[in-house]
Structure 1
Amino acid sequence: MDEETYDVVVVGGGPSGATAATDLAQAGRRVLLLDKEGRIKPCGGAVPPRLIRDFAVPDALIVARIRCARMVSPRDRQVDMPVGEGFVGMVDREAFDPWLRDRAAGAGAARRTATFLRLTRPGDGLARVHYRRRDGSEESVRTRLVIGADGAASTVGRQEIPGHARMRQVFAYHEIVRTPPEGAFHPARCDVYYQGALSPDFYAWIFPHGDTISIGTGSARKGFSLRGAVGSLRRATGLDAGETVRREGAPIPLKPLRRFDNGRDVLLTGDAAGLVAPASGEGIYYAMLGGRLAAEAADAFLRTGDARALAGARRRFLRAHGRVFWILRLMQAVWYRNDALRERFVSICRDPDVQSLTWEAYMNKELVRARPAAHARIFFKDLAHLFRWVSP
């Protein structure tokens, strides 16, 4: 029996991998999507309107509509940031990811529930993707290209991209809890906690998902008890009595890799490439955009045979979002260092200019360049708080 041959094998069926598989199948490429069974990534689930629009996400998958974010300081001061026009959508990854994989299959991608093992290159010009089926049997297929979308601890990336194992990460953990009776929790508000006791270098959150709530935190500090912090937050908010539906944890990258491809036949995307926004940890939009850009780079490579086309995915992503990522990374480095600075950071969030520019940038995924005076005011207010010229 001849060995199966594909144009592209996509390893990982989360938002990035499923999007890449969908786009490539729609372009007429022969695609195999490999994904582990039953894995759900810990995720707050926020998606901006641009994602819903650009990736044709149906209304039925939006389990909540957020109209306000509440920032909570180390001293328990609360600052509400109303969204204004529109809303931030919330999805539950338990339903969202399977729908994306089903869409890829509907577009023509083959699907296989399996665990990626390794790549080999026998010398005929095609790579072999080796994987393990659920029954423990090992199989392989031939392919011209592999897209690694298998998370921050990517097996594909660690095998093929030098330095991948040294990727900087935080570890995220959350608990999905049944939503309490009406009135006990606001169904259209996200709560974000900037408190060292809940995260010494990131933040904790309570995000509504309709019938359930995501309560989580993250940290890069070894030895910090994420589960203990989530338990403390649940007790402090009265959510400790609610039924726990599931618990999930996973690493989240902090910075895009220097290379997404191996210059030959492998291209990374999503968390595997580091496409998560610093400071906020937002990843779904960037994962899906990364998957689309990976598909476009892959299609160019398959058309021309020129492996240099693979570098276009990283170049185009950073051209669109590199400056935002740099600003967010700087913001995290400055304001997340200790509770005194976190207190001032939450205080800054009261500012109308900060609120309007934050939401405009988030909703549309573009820096707001048309209001230079507002940017200048924010810059000087930041300096005043950083150097403690004003009280928080």
Structure 2
Amino acid sequence: MREKIYDAVVVGGGPSGATAATDLALAGHSVLLLERGGRIKPCGGAVPPRLMEDFDVPQSLLVARARSARMIAPSGRAVDMPVGEIGYVGMVDREEFDEWLRERARYSGAERLEGTFEKVERDDEAHPIVTFRRQRGGPIERVRARCVIGADGARSAVAKQCLPGAERVPCVFAYHEIIKSPEEDSDAYDHSRCDVFYQGKLSPDFYAWVFPHGETASVGVGSANKGFSLRGAISTMRADLGLTRCETVRREGAPIPLKPLKRWDNGADVIVAGDAAGVVAPASGEGIYYAMTGGRMVAEAASEFLKTGEAKALKKARSRFMREHGKVFWVLGMMQYFWYSSDKRRERFVTMCDDKDVQQLTWQAYMNKKLVRAKPMAHVKIFLKDTAHLLGLREATR
């Protein structure tokens, strides 16, 4: 019995895979969206207004709108960064959000199938075979694809098999606990504020967070240090903030890549997207917007490949993404390298966040997803202030 042939098999039903499946289906291609059921990625759930507009996502999926961020230094000093009139930080619950995206893919014409990817096989025929199991221990099933899209997250099985060196992408391991939110606001918790902790005791090389999700909240931490206790850090943070008595709804953990892969395709018929391609912003760990943007670019490249048969079209996804977002990733990577390396530097970093120029350009860059060029002198001022803080020429506290 011959395997069913699809134009594209998308492995992974997160924001990137669901977006790619939707766009390819709307372009008239036959698409299979192969997803693993019952998995929710640990994620603060922050999305910018631009995501809602670019991807036609309804406001009803937002469980909260944060109007400010609080940066907490190792000393305990807190700096509030109000968003102001330019927008908000939207919050989504990944369980509901991801499912909505998958269902949109189905309504757009993609076929949904729950199963676990096994591998990509090849034989004498032109197109590869994707193998999977519908349930653990179940029989191996096979479908054939003209194009395979690996959107199966960090440590992607598709990328490891098809792209040399993909397993070496640097990652931070993230862990969070979804808890019932306190009923009333306090200085320790505010339903309209994102709290970010730059403290070595909570993370030696990244940060910890408390993000409001309406009736729930995400209390999380990330670190690349394998010997560091993420659960211990969360326990400490919840105790310090008076959140120990809040009911724990669920616990989740997963690696988060912090550097785009040097190559997203195999030069023939396989391409990766989202976390599998490494498109999570360094320093901030923001991934939803970049995952969906990358998924869209991969879908456009795959569609061109499917129409023309030219495998070189697949390369356009990465080149376009890096052209539009590479500079931001580079800047954020440098920030993480310098400012997250010690508590002394974290203290200076939080002090720098108290600067109004820094706050304004930070929020504008977040909302617009690009470096703001409208105020060149402001960038010069920030560069000089940043250098002064880095060299210790400014006091770490005021």
Superposed, which structure 2 residues align to 1:88-107 within 5 Å?
Answer: 88-107=89-108
Aligned to 1:164: 166
Return the match for 1:302 from 303, 306, 312. 306
Give the match's secondary structure for 1:238.
Answer: coil
Aligned to 2:179: 177
CA distance in 1, matches of 2:46, 2:331: 20
Cα distance, 1:180 vs structure 2: 1.3
Aligned to 2:16: 16
State the Cα deviation string for residues 82-112 of structure 1 (Å, max 9, x = none). Answer: 0011211000001000000000000000010
Q: How many residues align?
A: 392
Tell me the amino acid that sits aligned with residue 362 of structure 1: Y
Aligned to 1:327: 331
Superposed, which structure 2 residues align to 1:190-201 within 5 Å?
Answer: 190-201=194-205
Superposed, which structure 2 residues align to 1:1-392 within 5 Å?
Answer: 1-85=1-85, 86-134=87-135, 136-184=138-186, 185-392=189-396
Tell me the amino acid that sits aligned with residue 30 of structure 1: S
Cα distance, 1:151 vs structure 2: 0.4
CA distance in 2, matches of 1:232, 1:391: 29
Cα distance, 1:137 vs structure 2: 2.2
Tell me the amino acid that sits aligned with residue 239 of structure 1: L
CA distance in 2, matches of 1:91, 1:183: 20
Cα distance, 1:16 vs structure 2: 0.1
Give the match's secondary structure for 1:50.
Answer: helix
CA distance in 1, matches of 2:183, 2:82: 24
- TM value normalised by structure 2: 0.98
CA distance in 2, matches of 1:372, 1:249: 40
Cα distance, 1:134 vs structure 2: 2.1
State the Cα deviation string for residues 183-216 of structure 1 (Å, max 9, x = none). Answer: 3431110000000000000000000000100000
Give the match's secondary structure for 1:63.
Answer: strand
- TM value normalised by structure 1: 0.99
Give the match's secondary structure for 1:280.
Answer: coil
Tell me the amino acid that sits aligned with residue 247 of structure 1: R
Tell me the amino acid that sits aligned with residue 13 of structure 1: G
CA distance in 2, matches of 1:9, 1:191: 39
CA distance in 1, matches of 2:368, 2:91: 16
State the Cα deviation string for residues 29-80 of structure 1 (Å, max 9, x = none). Answer: 0000001010000000000011010001111100000100000000000000
CA distance in 2, matches of 1:363, 1:197: 31
CA distance in 1, matches of 2:144, 2:383: 54
Tell me the amino acid that sits aligned with residue 185 of structure 2: G
Cα distance, 1:222 vs structure 2: 1.4
CA distance in 1, matches of 2:318, 2:334: 21
Q: Percent identity?
A: 64
| 5+ long unaligned stretches in structure 2 | none
Give the match's secondary structure for 2:319.
Answer: helix
CA distance in 2, matches of 1:80, 1:178: 24
CA distance in 2, matches of 1:99, 1:351: 39
